[in-house]
Amino acid sequence: MRIGELSRKTGVPVPTIKYYVREGLLPPGELTSPNQAAYGEAHERRLQLIRALLEVGGMKVAEIADVLAAIDDPERPVHKVLGTAADRLGSGGIEHDDAGSAAARAVVADLISRRGWRTHESNPAATDLSEVLAALDRLGHGAFAEVLDDYADAAEQVARADLRYVDQRVAVEDMVEAVVVGTVLGEAVFSALRRLAHVSASAKLYGTDVPQEQKPS
């Protein structure tokens, strides 16, 4: 398969494919001549993965490069890949560093110990969580912490489902990819489900909300 066919099959323009190769997201095709290269199914699959992480997962190209490098590295232990995949999420790294942050960190540490989670508050996810809680506090929504345990219950349930899904992969490389896909796309799945449940629940609570109306624009 040459690049044009790869482009047609995936819907990704040829120059974009070349760009991904340049950026290290996609391995180059196997050269059959100085200016002819052959691409296989692996390239097609990889390209789909790239597009999914970009469009659905909202990841940046450089982040995807990191994650894919982790996937491709057979030396890298599974939990490192998970870390690489997961760490790209979160606030983006804005530091506020006020009094509220310390309080938020304490809330997170308490939550972790209360639930018996085998992690430490130095975990990037824990840091992100404290930052979000600090932001909520700043907004006068510190009371949001009251529903934290409901959120945590739900998060545990989702995490169990994720592990169940990943666990039934046979080969290790499939498992690694399943972790990445599950982490990133699973986020999008849950987000959509939450919004659906939101609409439905508020309809039940506040009476018969019309299902959908379009504004005249």
Partner DNA sequence: GATAGCGGATAGTGCCGCTATCTACTTAGG
Partner DNA sequence: CCTAAGTAGATAGCGGCACTATCCGCTATC
Binding to DNA (CB under 7 A): which residues in 51-80? 54, 60-62
Non-local (6+) Cβ contacts of 1 within 8 A are 9, 38, 39, 40, 43, 44
The least CB distance from residue 72 to DNA, in Å, is: 18
19 versus 117: smaller Cβ distance to its own copies: 117
Given the complex with its own copies, which of 37 and 165 has the nearer CB atom? 165
CB of 33 vs its own copies, minimal distance in Å: 31
Q: Does 172 bind its own copies (CB under 8 A)?
A: no
Which amino acid is present at 18? K
User: If binding is defined by CB under 8 A, does position 103 make contact with its own copies?
Assistant: no
Q: Give the three-state DSSP class for 54.
A: helix
Residue with tokens 């482009």, as numbered in its chain: 7
Q: How far is CA 181 from CA 25, 35, 59, 67, 163, in A?
A: 16, 34, 12, 11, 12
CB 205 within 8 A of CB 214: no
Complex with DNA: residue 19 or 190, whichever CB lies closer: 19
Where are the alpha helices (H) located in the chain, listed in sequence order?
3-10, 14-22, 41-51, 61-72, 78-87, 99-115, 124-138, 148-167, 172-205
Report, in Å, the least distance between residue 39 CB and its own copies: 17
204 lines the binding site for its own copies (CB under 8 A): yes
Binders of DNA in range 25-54 (CB under 7 A): 28-29, 31-37, 39, 54
Q: Does 72 bind its own copies (CB under 8 A)?
A: no
Q: Does 9 bind its own copies (CB under 8 A)?
A: no
Residue count of the chain: 217
* Total chain residues near its own copies (CB under 8 A): 96
Report the C-alpha gap between 183 and 87 in whole angstroms: 10
41 interacts with its own copies by CB under 8 A? no
* Touching its own copies, residues 107-166 (CB under 8 A): 112, 115-120, 122-126, 128-129, 131-133, 135-136, 138-141, 143-144, 146-148, 150-165
R_g over Cα of the chain: 21
- Binding residues vs DNA (CB under 7 A): 2-5, 13-16, 18-19, 21-22, 28-29, 31-37, 39, 54, 60-62
